[in-house]
């Protein structure tokens, strides 16, 4: 069996993986090699892979329990709850409401109490130009702060709020999205369980720091968010059809670049693995209601909004 080849594609983060067909079951050693490369490089690119929904799900399960996207059910694949549509391709004559999603810097599902660990995205169709995705290394963002600011942040917690997502969606979906995802609290600095390195966990979806007002927090959040995406920390992925890109949400932030002709199709499938860390709700009562709602597996009311 051919050995997996690993080639760095960015200075701060990112590597291309070749020599493996991820549409087929992997050996234990292949999985270990991929996990090791993922810990070292944060973003892995598997070019020229022939995947369908079933093989995408099978590959994704090598990296943990899959999310069924109960926190954002509006863009689930019509046949697979564990696949999220990143697409402007109409379904039953209607463009999915998340077609403009991800266009501010963010960490996937940081507005939930169990934010995503791995995100995997498979490219099926792409615009003729543009539609890239950018990734920033949050280890480097933390490690290049002054020791005084590092020490201050080490003791802080931050409130992440789904209402700070900038994607344009129908008002009724925005309201339901917020109801399903009340504000949550996470540490401003997270320690990665495998690398044991500290990473900044603050981005433009952070509303304030616990114990501080929004006004007091705003300048620091803005500084940290801008510092984190300095060019020297960033890898920009230019998609090719049949790319599978896998990234680690525990130590990076990313952005879907909206620089493409919206009359052209950008159609991708996404899976996510459940995180290995739990935050807490800012308000226990609204959090308990959200958990109760998301416990309803079919989420009929939320899903009906897509087809109204």
Residue 218, helix vs strand vs coil: helix
Active site residue 108: yes
Instruction: Exactly one of 41, 77, 106, 227 is catalytic; name it.
Output: 106
**Within 10 A of 263 (CB to CB), how many other CB atoms are there?**
7
Q: What is the largest CA-CA distance in the chain?
A: 58
- Name the strand (E) or helix (H) holding 113: none
Instruction: Exactly one of 205, 207, 250, 270 is catalytic; name it.
Output: 270
Length of the chain: 308
Residue 252 · residue 100 · CB < 8 Å: no
Residue 133, helix vs strand vs coil: strand
Active site residue 270: yes
Active site residue 106: yes
Instruction: Exactly one of 67, 108, 140, 161 is catalytic; name it.
Output: 108
For 25, which DSSP code? P
Residue 71 · residue 109 · CB < 8 Å: yes
SS3 content of the chain, % helix, strand, coil (to 5): 30, 25, 45
CA 181 centroid distance within chain: 16
Mode of pairing for the β-strands spanning 234-237 and 133-137 = antiparallel
Instruction: Exactly one of 76, 237, 254, 266 is catalytic; name it.
Output: 254
Residue 133 · residue 257 · CB < 8 Å: yes
- Give the alpha-carbon dihedral of 46, 47, 53, 56, to 10 degrees: -10
> Which three-class secondary structure string do you get for 247-308?
EECCCEEEEECCCCCCCCCCEEEEEEECCCCCCEECCHHHHHHHHHHHCCCCCHHHHHHHHC
Active-site residues: which are they?
106, 108, 254, 270
């Amino acid at each position: 069996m051919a050995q997996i080849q690993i080639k760095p594609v960015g200075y701060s983060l990112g590597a291309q993986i070749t020599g493996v067909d991820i549409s087929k079951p992997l050996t234990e050693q292949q999985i270990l090699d991929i996990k090791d490369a993922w810990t070292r490089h944060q973003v892995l690119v598997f070019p020229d892979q022939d995947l369908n929904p079933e093989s995408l799900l099978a590959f994704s399960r090598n990296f943990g329990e899959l999310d069924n996207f109960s926190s954002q059910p509006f863009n689930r694949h019509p046949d697979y709850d564990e696949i999220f549509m990143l697409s402007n391709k109409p379904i039953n004559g209607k463009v999915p409401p998340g077609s403009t999603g991800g266009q501010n810097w963010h960490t996937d599902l940081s507005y939930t109490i169990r934010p995503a660990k791995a995100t995997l995205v498979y490219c099926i169709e792409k615009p003729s130009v543009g539609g890239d995705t950018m990734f920033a290394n949050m280890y480097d963002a933390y490690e290049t702060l002054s020791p005084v600011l590092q020490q201050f942040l080490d003791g802080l917690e931050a409130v992440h709020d789904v209402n700070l997502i900038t994607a344009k969606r129908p008002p009724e979906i925005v309201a339901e999205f917020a109801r399903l995802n009340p504000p949550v609290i996470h540490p401003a600095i997270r320690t990665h369980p495998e690398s044991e390195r500290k990473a900044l966990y603050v981005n433009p979806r952070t509303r304030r720091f616990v114990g501080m007002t929004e006004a007091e927090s705003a300048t620091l959040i803005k500084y940290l968010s801008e510092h984190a995406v300095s060019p020297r920390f960033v890898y920009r992925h230019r998609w090719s059809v049949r790319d599978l890109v896998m990234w680690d949400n525990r130590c990076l932030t990313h952005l879907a670049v909206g620089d493409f002709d919206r009359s052209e199709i950008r159609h991708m499938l996404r899976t996510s693995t459940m995180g290995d860390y739990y935050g807490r709700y800012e308000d226990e009562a609204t959090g308990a209601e959200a958990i109760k709602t998301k416990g309803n597996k079919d989420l009929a009311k939320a899903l009906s909004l897509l087809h109204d």
